[in-house]
Amino acid sequence: MEEKQLRRYSRVVVDGVAQAPSRAMLRAVGFEEKDFAKPQVGIASTWSMITPCNMHLDDLAREAASGVDQSDGKAVIFNTITVSDGISMGTEGMRYSLVSREIIADSIEAVTGAQGFDGVITIGGCDKNMPACVMALARINRPSIFVYGGTIKPGAGRRDIVSVFEAVGAHAAGNISDQQLLEVEQTAIPGPGACGGMYTANTMASAIEALGLSLGNSSAQEAVSSSKIEDCRRAGAAVMNLIERNIRPSDILTFEAFENAMTVVIALGGSTNAVLHLLAMANEASVALSLDDFERVGKRVPVLADVKPSGKYLMSELIAIGGIQPLMKRLLDKGLLHGDCLTVTGKTMAENLSDVDDYPAEQTVVRGFDKPIKADSHLVVLYGNVAPDGAVAKISGKEGLRFVGRARVYPSEELALQAILDGIVAAGDVVVIRYEGPRGGPGMREMLSPTSAIMGKGLGADVALITDGRFSGGSHGFVVGHVTPEAALGGPIALLEDGDQITIDAQDKRIDVNVSDDELARRRDRWQRPKSNVTRGTLAKYRAMVGTASEGAVTVAPEWEKNASET
């Protein structure tokens, strides 16, 4: 391959007399004369001391940089933001969580576009910064690799962050003391790494690996481990191979690759957030993915991994038996993965998995196809007069497949949580939390606090919850999120009243309220959109530009820009 093909980005910045000022500034940040002739690789780290998920990523970025430098490239580390879902959960600050996905993607795009990198490595460690990294890589479309920061080690007694949220509910029910709650709080989070079950972070890391954008088992390594350090160094070398061969995200992020990601997410029993994020990532990659694709793929793919939150095991226990590669090999052998999809190794998925050994015979973390956790997907797309444009349920089967109950309606997460903790919510209720959608929030907060309180109070089998917001990957129980159209847009969820009978049917894929069309029309005539206290800043900009949850809650171009592009 000719040098001009290797250097078409960074040479604009460093070649020629006119770029002497650029080279002068780069010398000050560590460039030597020989470095100006090398491909430059930007390493986007989402490091911060905001959260344990990301607190170690600066070290991993340096390891990735060493892999680049040792492969005759020049690494340049830069940073972007992250916010903590776990810390902001249940507060107004959680509005910024999904918004941060767009900010992170924008910032990686901005730095890469300005600096002229020939390749990019992104390193993410928690829920929103991982899909954000992929969204940016799809936009930039330069040779790229994603590296996962890794999962946290289990806390005492195999505890994790969800243990703390559920302990709050148990405390409210009088089942544990103040001292017991404090002991859970003090021991659940032992150090660096993402939340330890098959919650959103581990789900998205697995999905990205299945897409082909990470090296093998990058998604299944502990944050503090020699294997994670080696993963980063290998990524540095691998991105140089991608630059040399001019392999880009557009070569990897095909429709079939997204089907692979959906398949792996389902087999692992992953988070409902995967639906939202895969739709957004596909949008950036110009891949026409829809809610109906999740339904179609879900009919043929079983849930095989017995992992938290609905199951028994933590990510560390899945790692101990070989990670997700043996599962992917099983799925491939069963004809459920597209083996011909290209990956960041420069090889196909089938080639990458050809030498992977199966799980140990005695393990019980991942079941065989003859005895699945659930015969089809736990991610169920529902339609009906409550959600004409769709909703996403997380139904493992343990909760049952049908729930009929009376609506108990709340206009915010805080009010719903207080009602649960105060004992107002009772068996047979369907808790309705609305005005928490992408625009209504704005920001589409996660409902981990209410769902955990329900579980902690022992109501998991007797109470359902529906919302136009979304759920943490740690949520479980009979829960339905992403209800669209959302309440702030006048969707039917805005018209529900206390006492309405709601039916959630995972077999018929329906969510309906037993109210006539005429009555819903009368309620619509009386409905008025509540005023928002958000009038300026990032949240206001997000509300003005965000699309629906059924399309990934991506920010869209203003109307004037759409019109200009069409003409």
Helix and strand tally (H, E) in the chain? 23, 12
- Residue matched to tokens 């957030």: 273
CA distances, 474 to each of 55, 163, 477 (Å): 21, 10, 10
Backbone angles phi, psi at 41, to 5 degrees: -120, 115
| Cis-peptide into 131, omega within 30 deg | no
Q: Note if 377 is an active site residue.
A: no
Residue 364, C-beta contacts closer than 8 angstroms, at least 6 positions apart = 306
Containing 167, the helix (H) or strand (E) segment is: helix 161-172
Catalytic one among 48, 163, 206, 472? 472
- Kindly state the tokens that stand for 167: 């302990």
Whether 45 contacts 59, CB under 8 Å: no
Q: Are 307 and 365 in contact (CB under 8 A)?
A: yes
Instruction: Tell me the backbone φ, ψ of residue 318, rounded to 5 degrees.
Output: -70, -40
Token pair listed for 529 = 């959109």
Residues whose CB falls within 8 Å of the CB of residue 432, separated by 6 or more in sequence, listed in order: 407, 408, 409, 410, 465, 466, 467, 493, 496, 502
Give me 402's structure tokens.
């049908």
Q: How far is CA 556 from the centre of its chain?
A: 20
Catalytic machinery residues: 472
